[in-house]
Structure 1
């Protein structure tokens, strides 16, 4: 039984930026983000979703789109299961001027305190037949997810045909509180180890 006055929840504070993207052949893009998390997690401050400004490449960075779009959110939870993920969707105009998706991607919020940078491979859904591909191009209605949160979930994704397209770089600054008091050891030595699995990186049970 926990001692009197000991915490029953821990806090995870996440700040940072969706810094930039690389989408060869595309320009004038903007991004949206949202967080996906387990049922034991509750946002207590900040924004769960947002939409950036439109940005373009420049002579200084002809292959990079710079957003520097801030993220800021705090969660509370009782256990690490369902650790939050950020889902990023990038959009821009097609040949006819319609806004179409240029990439989806997701990554877990880093599991250890400190500053981290993650580069997310992005992808787009594809039509399953040449007729559908032509119809999508002609009408300007490209395949896209009704809810981008599906990107962070395993169920149903195996039946979706996708194609890799671009990368997005995000910086995180993670602060945790009371995790050790609840029996979780967040090990700073694991901060830069990319070989750790997405559900176990830097989190150990006593």
Structure 2
């Protein structure tokens, strides 16, 4: 129901353009009355400004002049609200369900909702991105049905300032599990890596490699925007560029993980001597990372172990490392001073002499 006022000038009443809504009343199935705007109270009157031959300002108040409710009515109102909140709680519980999936003890579940946002700064048009996630062979696993790779749609670039930008907005999702069984190991656990390959299509649907890139996934939960710089291998001479322009041929990497250190590499040194490359454009990813572990809700030693694992995964900054070293030095110095104080003075003093 609407309470309205006709604020038209004299002898011009009844026109719709002069009608204004002062208040709206709604009653739901539970008998709850909603008043909008609310009762005036101490807020002061509401204002309406009219436009026409002369501008007018109207002020009005909304007051509750109903008699006070009886105790029986107040009790009935409380029961109605209690029943309403109870049904809403049951509805929310039905949405969540009872079978909440938990990780195994000592494991960390990483869930990523990602998006390939855009690519810019590349030489040719009609770009698309091939990407995949590489899990370290030690301690990491993923479900058998999990797809860890994807290809975006082909997008025609648009000029933005000095660059040509392709907006993909391509979503992807994956999950992985980390299980650190050997807590005595001091080796730094590795984190998954996201690889990407940018390609372009010509008029004859032949592709060219525009760039390779890689980035380590964030070790902290939350929203992250990552910009990956890419490069591509090149050949010397104009013949290679002519071949790339006319027939789409270009140098390619047989193994995309060669962008960083391949997981299959077992040697001590990875040589890229003789590989000629040039810097190309950048790819922007937006990642929403979630982490789930039983250790987050436990206060036992398991939580302390998992915290140490997460700390090692996240890495210590140089500042925190220096601070830890200084703290260890202070503790050692304090223990040494306490030990010196407990010794006899003739052994501590450099001028002490032995008495025969």
Query: Is TM-score (shorter-chain normalized) higher than 0.5?
Result: yes
The TM-score with structure 1 as length reference comes to 0.77
Greater RCO (Cα-Cα under 8 Å, separation 6 or more): 1
Report Cα offsets for 1:116-172 as digits up to 9, x if no partner: 001010110122x43873685465421111121222326646233211100000001
The residue aligned with 1:133 is 240
Q: 1:34: which partner in 2?
A: 132
The answer on whether the counterparts of 1:96 and 1:140 sit within 8 Å (CA) in structure 2 is no
Structure possessing the higher radius of gyration over alpha carbons: 2
TM-score of the pair, normalised by structure 2: 0.47
Report how many aligned residue pairs link the two structures. 188
| Displacement of 1:96 | 6.8
Residue 52 in 1 paired to residue 152 in 2? yes
Q: Identify unmatched segments of 5+ residues in structure 2.
A: 1-102, 181-187, 297-302, 321-356
1:1-206 mapped onto 2 (5 Å cutoff): 7-39=105-137, 40-44=139-143, 46-58=146-158, 63-79=164-180, 81-94=189-202, 98-127=206-235, 129-130=236-237, 133=240, 136-137=243-244, 140-153=248-261, 156=270, 158-159=272-273, 160-178=275-293, 181=303, 182-184=305-307, 200=315
Contact 2:206–2:247 under 8 Å retained in 1: no
The root-mean-square deviation of aligned C-alpha atoms, in Å, is 3.2
SS at match of 2:252: coil
Answer 1 or 2: which has greater strand percent.
Answer: 1
Contact 1:18 1:67 in 2 (8 A): yes
CA gap of 1:172–1:161, structure 2 versus 1, over 3 A, is same
Unaligned runs of 5+ in 1: 188-197
The structure with more helix, counted as a fraction of residues: 2
> Do the aligned partners of 2:227 and 2:282 also contact (CA within 8 Å) in 1?
yes
